[in-house]
Amino acid sequence: MQILHPFAGSIQRYFDDIADPDRYRPDHCPQCEAKRPLTCHGFYRRTLVDAAFDGVIRVRRYLCCSCKRTVSLLPEFVLPWIRFSISVIAMFLAARLLNGFTFVAAARAAAQAVMPYQRGQFWIRRFQKQAPTLSLALVPLEAPGHPWDPAADFVSRALRMLESIGWIAAHRFLFSQLRVHLLGWPACLAPAGRRITLTAACPAP
């Protein structure tokens, strides 16, 4: 199971932070609710592309001695199963769908000088599909009296909410409280990001 590393600083700060296993060690198991601190269980590695980073990061894992299941602490700036950081995806989607940039200009706005068309379209398609869910799920985070245009379509409404709340703050709420993914879970991890059976890994887009 993945839970969020309670930290939203820079990638470099994240590297420094995870060196200490005790710093964010969960004091109970989020799966079986055993009230015992979890045991360190190494790291897994995943790729990440951010505006100024393209490489591999380590994600700390803990083991629950009661239920024998692992918990990993995913940093808040990444999404499960997506290789690109939330901020890169956010900058691209806002530029393309909210501000009407061309595809190429939106990719540049997201610090992606070379962006394959399929990748951008993949994010757009998934976001369009997820927008109605996001628009409803983010209502509790709306600023009081925020004048959302009730006639606005789901995509622009969801984008405006995310821009106003902050994409990472919104992701923290969606993922931690509702297990909702900003771009929707892939079929193999649906409905809540957990593999039902141990089948082949999902390809990372």
Stretch that binds Zn ion, among 12-20, 22-30, 45-53, 150-158 (CB under 5 A): 22-30
Q: Which of 12, 44, 54, 67 is close enough to bind Zn ion by CB under 5 A? A: 67
Q: Tokens in use for 199?
A: 């089948």
- The answer to the question of residue 97 lying near Zn ion (CB under 5 A) is no
- The answer to the question of residue 71 lying near Zn ion (CB under 5 A) is no
- The answer to the question of residue 82 lying near Zn ion (CB under 5 A) is no
Q: Which of 66, 156, 164, 176 is close enough to bind Zn ion by CB under 5 A? A: 66
- Residue whose C-alpha is closest to residue 155's, from 124, 197, 191, 194: 124
What is the C-alpha to C-alpha distance for residues 129 and 183, in angstroms, rounded to an integer? Answer: 8
Nearer to Zn ion, 63 or 169 (CB): 63
User: Do 159 and 94 form a contact (C-beta atoms < 8 A)?
Assistant: yes
CB atoms within 10 A of CB 165: 18
Stretch that binds Zn ion, among 59-67, 158-166, 167-175, 186-194 (CB under 5 A): 59-67
Binding mask 105-124 for Zn ion (x = CB under 5 A): --------------------
Q: To the nearest whole angstrom, how small is the minimum distance from the Cβ of residue 16 to Zn ion?
A: 28
What is the C-alpha to C-alpha distance for residues 159 and 154, in angstroms, rounded to an integer? Answer: 8
Stretch that binds Zn ion, among 33-41, 86-94, 101-109, 115-123 (CB under 5 A): 33-41
CB atoms within 10 A of CB 161: 21
Nearer to Zn ion, 32 or 152 (CB): 32
- Residue whose C-alpha is closest to residue 77's, from 164, 159, 171: 171
- The answer to the question of residue 29 lying near Zn ion (CB under 5 A) is yes
Q: Tokens in use for 122?
A: 């993949």
Look up tokens 């606005």; give the residue.
Answer: 152
- The answer to the question of residue 32 lying near Zn ion (CB under 5 A) is yes
CA atoms within 13 A on the CB side of 167: 18
Residues that bind Zn ion (CB under 5 A): 29, 31-32, 34, 64, 66-67
